[in-house]
Amino acid sequence: MAQEIDGKIYQVADLEEIRRQQLDVLQKDAGNADAIVELVCADALLCEEYIMDFGPSWKNAALCREIAKYIPAIIEDEEKWVMAGNVCHRARMALYDHPRLSLRLMELEREAIEGVGDDRAEDLEMGIDPLNAEITRYALNIMAADQKRFDDIEEDGHLRKDPIEWTAEYEEVIAEADEKAHALLADEPRGMGFCFVYWPTLQRILFQDYGIRWRSPAEMNPGVIFD
């Protein structure tokens, strides 16, 4: 896949190189606003690329942490509010199984867009009201998970998820476990049916390496056909 920016096509390798270049700049000049903008935009675009076709989505947590680290420095600039908010939104939409990190990105997104006027509201990926509702839902679900009140966790959508996915223990290890699972399945074709070899592999890794008992989407949704 590729991303088009200002009429120019960027491949994943191009975005990764842009990221490396901007990190080099920021090592010498930590407050360089232009470098921060280039970096966080590249990070968000990479997040979107890495979830395509069973790609290395485990890398997205580190990219989102990088966004959360650098983007506060440019939120103070009114001209960058919309861009900063949309970067946070697009990155978190490509971030799976990290509710606390997602909540942090939502809080930064809200900080960036809460001052945006009606004249630019249509440029936002998400408006302030639905964003506030999502922040509340995440905060309550995280609190419920921390207190082991799993029955109080509010589902999003029609498919049920194992509520263990809201716990800090799961969030801390899932990226590493996901990477291990994909490494073990490197020779498996990515396509229809891949989930049926991926889920048992991830399940085994989570239990054997981390002591976490996780139920797959197939187990949580009996009768639902997955491809």
Q: How much is the average pLDDT of 148-169?
A: 95
Q: Is the pTM of this model over 0.95?
A: no
Give the integer Cα–Cα distance in Å for 141 and 26: 36
Q: Report the half-sphere exposure of 139 (CA within 13 A, side-chain side).
A: 10
Q: How much is the average pLDDT of 125-141?
A: 94
The matching CATH number, chosen from 2.30.30, 3.40.1760, 1.20.272, 1.25.40, for 2-154 is: 1.25.40
pLDDT, tens digit, for every residue of 164-202?
A: 999 999 999 999 999 999 999 999 988 888 999 999 999
CA 98 to chain centre: 7
Where is average pLDDT lowest: 15-19, 27-31, 50-54, 101-105?
50-54
pLDDT level of residue 57 (50, 70, 90 thresholds): very high
Tell whether the model's pLDDT for residue 6 goes beyond 60.
Answer: no
Give the integer Cα–Cα distance in Å for 222 and 224: 6
Q: Helices 168-184 and 60-70, interaxial angle, to 10°? A: 130
Tell whether the model's pLDDT for residue 3 goes beyond 80.
Answer: no
Sequence ranges of the chain with CATH classification 1.25.40:
2-154
pLDDT mean across residues, the chain: 93
Percentage of the chain lying above the pLDDT 70 cut: 95
pLDDT at 126: 84
pLDDT at 198: 95
Tell whether the model's pLDDT for residue 1 goes beyond 60.
Answer: no
